[in-house]
Structure 1
Amino acid sequence: MNRVARSSEYKNNGFFLDAPGGTEKSFVLNAILDTVRSQGKIALAVASSGIAATVLHGGRTAHNMFKIPLLVNNEIRACSIKKNTEMARLIRMTSIIVWDEVVMANKNTITSLDITLRDITEKEIFMGGIVFVCAGDFRQILPVIRGGGKNDELEYCIKSSYFWDDLTKLELTENVRLDSKDVENKRFAKNLLLYL
């Protein structure tokens, strides 16, 4: 919230929230979105899949919201948003972008958004200086690469992107879905955290 209030004071406003299933990631993301909007600011909510987008307040798929082009041969292209459109004006007024299930996205789709936002805001910093909160769980599905294997999935994963090291990493670790008496599932949930 400090970054939203004073984003221009920071060089990098990117965050990654690592959140395994059951840690209430959706609750946290919606709390952030609702808080920013209650202050009269614009908060855009997107997800990599339609199902995940329905859980976010005002959520849409990232491809739909930002007109991200389909990647042929995994090339990087700018999004189809012209600088003099209503969408471009909305982006210039945006305080925060929340992207859920980002680990499913090809890193080049995020790069396409970064290039586009830099162009629209005319600021040569990550995401044009807009606070960018992405979230996901690497224990779930990585990007699907047509005709590719495990190495391709890793190569096009967000962890292989040029901006990964600059993201501030946050994590949720307590599984709130588990009953305190459910020892076996609690052990399983704890073990999931060990394998990343």
Structure 2
Amino acid sequence: MAAVNDVTNTAHPRQYFLDGPGGTGKTFVYITLINVLQGQGKQVIEVASTGIALTLLLDGVTYHSQFKIYPPITETTRSKIEEGTYNTQMIRNASLIISGEATMKTNHALDAINHLFQTVMKNGVGPYGGKVLLLGGDFRQCLPVVRHGNRVQVAEATIINNAT
């Protein structure tokens, strides 16, 4: 909450990861944050990696749909969102972006989201355009899908190996 309320973007970290086994209350935390922030008149974007996970969020959609990042996702994948659209305005106005089941995202998907946010925000204020990003998930459950990948390739594709 302090990061969301910090308008100078300097006093608090801007990216967080909520780790916990299934059933420990991650979704409860998301919904609580959404309700509190929306009660304060702030906008929250809620995305998830799968359709099942997004049904637990209030207004959730898949990150593929929300950010227009479509498979196959590679190191050159970029968002299809164009400047001046409703989606860009939504990203600019968002106080918090929540991404459930983020452990299923690949490094490349997270890089594409970072590139999108930096492009939309145009402020050069660090990763993700200075937006407060809450990723959550459980690395003990589902990991990213790597076509014909072995264990090492799947582990390398996880967001835990992301540099941003």
Q: Structure 1 length as normaliser, TM-score?
A: 0.79
- Tell me the equivalent position of 2:133: 132
Moved over 2 A (4+): 7-12, 74-77
Structure with higher Rg: it is 1
C-alpha distance in 2 between matches for 1:77 and 1:116: 11
- Tell me the equivalent position of 1:79: 79
1:34 CA drift (Å) = 1.1
- Tell me the equivalent position of 1:60: 61
- Tell me the equivalent position of 2:88: 88
1:8 CA drift (Å) = 2.9
Contact kept in structure 2, 1:7 and 1:129, CA below 8 Å? no
Identity between Structure 1 and Structure 2 (%): 33
Contact kept in structure 2, 1:100 and 1:134, CA below 8 Å? yes
C-alpha distance in 2 between matches for 1:70 and 1:140: 21
Contact kept in structure 2, 1:76 and 1:111, CA below 8 Å? no
- Tell me the equivalent position of 1:183: none
Q: Which has the higher contact order (CA 8 A, sep 6+)?
A: 1
Helix, strand or coil for the counterpart of 2:114? helix
- Tell me the equivalent position of 2:158: 157
- Tell me the equivalent position of 1:102: 102
- Tell me the equivalent position of 1:23: 24
Structure 1 spans left out of the alignment, 5+ residues: 164-196
Contact kept in structure 2, 1:47 and 1:59, CA below 8 Å? yes
1:14 CA drift (Å) = 0.2
Q: Which amino acid aligns with 1:105?
A: K
- Tell me the equivalent position of 1:186: none
Q: Which amino acid aligns with 2:76?
A: I
1:12 CA drift (Å) = 4.1
Structure 2 spans left out of the alignment, 5+ residues: none
C-alpha distance in 2 between matches for 1:54 and 1:33: 15
Contact kept in structure 2, 1:96 and 1:132, CA below 8 Å? yes
- Deviation string 1:25-49 (CA, Å, 9 cap, x unpaired) is 1111110111111110100000000
1:105 CA drift (Å) = 1.0
What does 1:165-180 align with in structure 2 at a 5 Å threshold?
A: none
Q: Which amino acid aligns with 1:97?
A: I
C-alpha distance in 2 between matches for 1:29 and 1:90: 19
- Tell me the equivalent position of 1:47: 48
C-alpha distance in 2 between matches for 1:56 and 1:113: 20
Q: Which amino acid aligns with 1:50?
A: G
- Number of residue-to-residue matches in the alignment: 162
